[in-house]
Chains A and B, each alone.
Chain A
Amino acid sequence: MQTPTLFALLLLLVLIAYGTGFSRAAAAARGRGGMRKLAALPSYYGTHTALWCGLPALLLLAVWLMFDEPIIRALVMNGIADMPDTMAGRDLLYAQIQNQAAGNFFGEATPQVKEAAERLTHLRGGAQLLQTAMVLILSLGLGAFAMLRFSPKLRAREKVEKVFRVILIGCASAAILTTVGILLSVLFESLRFFQSVPVTEFLFGLQWSPQMALRADQVGSSGAFGAVPLFTGTLMVSAIAMFVAVPVGLMSAIYLAEYAGKRLRAVAKPVLEVLAGVPTVVYGFFAALTVAPFVREAAAAVGLQASSESALAAGLVMGVMIIPFVSSLSDDVINAVPQSMRDGALGLGSTHSETVRKVVIPAALPGIVGGVLLAVSRAIGETMIVVMAAGLAANLTANPLDSVTTVTVQIVTLLVGDQEFDSPKTLAAFALGLMLFVSTLILNFIALHVVKKYREQYD
């Protein structure tokens, strides 16, 4: 039976189980003279039976679906006489076998492939049958078991609630699992990368050209993996972005919180927030087609030469994107400063702007710094704008009119398209991802800590 059909059948069984559990309890209640003679409401008995019937079978199905392909592959590949040495070769062979089994012929297959394809079809059929049988037996068996155990004294509600609680805990742990998953996937591949490229070369090397030669004897066959140009490029674009976002975001937050009337606030705040809702790919398009040519022409007008993929264009647009981020976080902390502090300063005769500059801002500073740090981590991890508007060439330069490349751009270029999973070129992307994850994690951690600590002060 195909998996979707099996799933539908399982759902049907669960519904039936609920119905039988419910009616059995209801019948028992009638026989004893009322609901209060039962230990729980009939719906709980129904749910109890349904859980027994569905949950273990569903878990089995999920685990099966996760692991059947790798196991079948291992079984098929086990029987092959002359196994290719490289991972890429093995992948290719297995792809051939799969195509053969699916009936897509590309030329004449070797007898070995034909034989393996037959085995694959056979195994798949067997696996499908076994899966159906096991899931149905488990579901029906446990459903029947739950029915047998039924008695009016069974504390069905407590049992059901216990299961739900476990499910809730499982869902809450999804966040932890995600973090662990990210760490494992990035760390594992990075370690493999650092086996072929030393960490020091990666962190301090000045040359980045990840293109690997196809043949071992080709000139310049070893790619260079010094990531410093990427780090400086990332920092430059982020710095330009912050140069735009921090003053504009902060000043508009101050104006909106301290000066603006209700009506201006009601209009300006949502308009600024629109900037946060625009997808980054739209900003990238805008940067590449509108801002970059403008920057180039403006530079030419004052006699400077600007690349058509300048860091300045990408940084400016990224800054615009981050404005609402800075302004809404600053707005929150400025509003959290107690009114009494403002009143004190105003009462001593300071002007409104003096109050803001000398009292409100210093009081809100930790929160603002936290917000800016969060914005920096956004800027570092931003991908689409730089992919579309910044270049690919890893220039080590301090000129914002030049084209630079960033960590995220390189991750995208290395991983989009065909990949082989044992070349340092692909693995380098994971090492860059590790750097990105770790640096943003540190920034976020500090920022959240600062913001939280500050909030406690005035609450």
Chain B
Amino acid sequence: MTDLTQAQVRERIEQNLAGRHRKEKLFRGLGIASIAFGVFAVLLLFTDIISKGSGAFVQTAVQLEVTYDPAVLGIEEVNEESLTWANFTGVIRQSLRERFPGVSGRSEKRELYSLVSTGAPFTLRDRLQANPALLGQTEKVWFAADDDVDTFLKSLDDSAEGFRGRTSDEMAAWVQTLWDSGELKKRFNTTFFTNGDSREPEQAGIRAALVGSLLTLLVTLALSFPIGVAAAIYLEEYAPKNRWTDLIEVNINNLAAVPSIVFGLLGLAIFINFFELPRSAPLVGGLVLTLMTLPTIIISSRAALKSVPPSIREAAMGMGASRMQVVLHHVLPLAMPGMLTGAIIGMAQALGETAPLLMIGMVAFIVDVPAGITDPATVLPVQIFLWADSPERAFVERTSAAIMVLLSFLIVMNTSAVLLRKKLERRW
């Protein structure tokens, strides 16, 4: 080593330096690439879902000229009873035959009839019920088109040929005729927000699932927030340092990382099999999600309590307040914003949860909107899971749309948590 002159040393370092700087650049590049990958994943996910789902917010409707012919309906007057068995399907079929008089043959006719949604007779019934004077009259009514027509028409925007699927050449021709004469239109899909689940995509909606989610979340919030806050208060303000409190602490941290599906097993074995609570009910769903979100809420509530400086407690105690008065009158109000933030984040987590709810039977096919917490119900994520399994192309669209609704709820909840924290946060 002593042989090296200063110049030689410098030369060597400079040789090395180029390589070292190259490595530095490479390392930086990898870092940027990783972040770019993450951001790319977010963008890809959102554009994919939005591009697939935005179509579901519009729906194709067909205009038909229908005659409320008593002979076809098979009724003489409009009353509760006659409405239930009146042949509205016949009326619609007749008006379709009149619109396309050239159609003959069984299979061709069947195809013609399938232009209109199978829910159309109910639309007619509701109209007649609302206005009995229509009996014997003729009017133009917009009906929801069948999902095949809907899918075909929407796919025409992407390519001239369009996605055919079950749509035959004749049907395509009819759709073209109707479209050219303005008897087909795309309108805002209100059905999607007002209906429950259905096997027919054009009649399927998310209302029942949304209400189910709401009820489940209410149960979860009503149980997990008070219990979580009470547990946090005990652990932060009261608990002596002993084995039992240590055990509780370790337990809470572990529970926070237990897979959610295990909570579903607990719900199935204990709430449903042992206590015989009703299956598929928001009550049981809420209980399971309570157990699942409790650790999150306890941990964030403890952090909020910890951030309240001890001087506040000491001052209150010095004025003669009891321990409970210190907590309830001084510490808790100051920690509340942090606790609320934690609760919102916990609720967002519960809103997106699927797996444990599958275990307790919330996968049922629910058409009616649940009225109470013991009615059979499903929740939005489970509805998404169910629709994702359906083969119809129109369901892909609706699944993505339901995901968009779910994600917008989550975004609203999480942003409000962030805003709440920013607005109410206090630095001591």
Point out which of A277, A281, A412 has the most chain B C-beta atoms below 10 A from its C-beta. Answer: A281
A70 and B270 alpha carbons, distance in the complex (Å): 13
A429 touches B265 (CB 8 A): yes
Residues of B within 8 A of A380 (CB): 259
B231 touches A281 (CB 8 A): no
Q: Taking the nearest CB of chain B, how far is it from the CB of A323, in angstroms?
A: 6
A249 and B31 alpha carbons, distance in the complex (Å): 9
- Measured CB to CB, the nearest residue on chain A to B353 is A279
Point out which of A353, A377, A416, A444 has the most chain B C-beta atoms below 10 A from its C-beta. Answer: A353
Residues of B within 8 A of A14 (CB): none
A429 and B264 alpha carbons, distance in the complex (Å): 11
B268 at the interface (CB under 8 A from A): yes
A288 and B23 alpha carbons, distance in the complex (Å): 39
A186 touches B269 (CB 8 A): yes
Supposing A172-B234, A172-B239 touch, asked if A437 and B31 sit within 8 A by C-beta, the answer is no
Supposing A165-B238, A171-B227, A252-B35 touch, asked if A445 and B254 sit within 8 A by C-beta, the answer is yes
Q: Taking the nearest CB of chain B, how far is it from the CB of A45, in angstroms?
A: 15
Residues of B within 8 A of A216 (CB): none
A374 at the interface (CB under 8 A from B): yes
A157 and B324 alpha carbons, distance in the complex (Å): 10
B66 at the interface (CB under 8 A from A): no
A174 touches B227 (CB 8 A): yes
Could you give, for residues 399-435 of chain A, a 1 whenever the CB lies within 8 Å of some chain B CB and a 0 otherwise? 0000000001001100110000100000001100100
B255 touches A351 (CB 8 A): no
Could you give, for residues 40-61 of chain B, a 1 whenever the CB lies within 8 Å of some chain A CB and a 0 otherwise? 0110010011001000000000
Residues of B within 8 A of A185 (CB): 265-266, 268-270
Interface residues on A, range: 35 or more
- Measured CB to CB, the nearest residue on chain B to A288 is B388
Could you give, for residues 444-455 of chain A, a 1 whenever the CB lies within 8 Å of some chain B CB and a 0 otherwise? 110110000000
Residues of B within 8 A of A167 (CB): 230
Chain B contact residues: over half helix, strand or loop, or mixed?
helix
B257 at the interface (CB under 8 A from A): yes
A2 and B388 alpha carbons, distance in the complex (Å): 41
Supposing A284-B388, A286-B45 touch, asked if A255 and B230 sit within 8 A by C-beta, the answer is no
Residues of B within 8 A of A429 (CB): 265
Supposing A164-B324, A252-B31, A415-B359 touch, asked if A281 and B352 sit within 8 A by C-beta, the answer is yes
A338 at the interface (CB under 8 A from B): no
Interface residues on B, range: 35 or more
Q: Choose, from A100-108, A111-119, A267-275, the stretch at the interface.
A: A267-275
Chain A contact residues: over half helix, strand or loop, or mixed?
helix
A419 and B343 alpha carbons, distance in the complex (Å): 35
Q: Taking the nearest CB of chain B, how far is it from the CB of A207, in angstroms?
A: 24
A252 touches B21 (CB 8 A): no
B231 touches A175 (CB 8 A): yes
Q: Taking the nearest CB of chain A, how far is it from the CB of B314, in angstroms?
A: 19
Supposing A175-B295, A445-B254 touch, asked if A256 and B269 sit within 8 A by C-beta, the answer is no
B104 at the interface (CB under 8 A from A): no
Q: Taking the nearest CB of chain A, how far is it from the CB of B249, in angstroms?
A: 9
27 of the cross-chain contacts (CB-CB < 8 Å) are: A66-B275, A70-B276, A160-B324, A164-B324, A175-B251, A179-B254, A181-B270, A181-B291, A182-B266, A248-B37, A252-B34, A259-B28, A268-B38, A272-B35, A278-B410, A279-B352, A285-B384, A285-B388, A323-B38, A351-B24, A354-B24, A356-B27, A380-B259, A381-B262, A388-B385, A433-B262, A448-B257
- Residues on A lying within 8 angstroms of B by beta carbon are 66, 69-70, 73, 157, 160-161, 164-165, 167-169, 171-176, 178-179, 181-182, 184-186, 188-189, 247-252, 254-256, 259, 268, 271-272, 274-275, 277-286, 288-290, 320, 323-324, 327, 351-354, 356-357, 374, 377-378, 380-384, 387-388, 408, 411-412, 415-416, 421, 429-430, 433, 436-437, 440-441, 444-445, 447-448
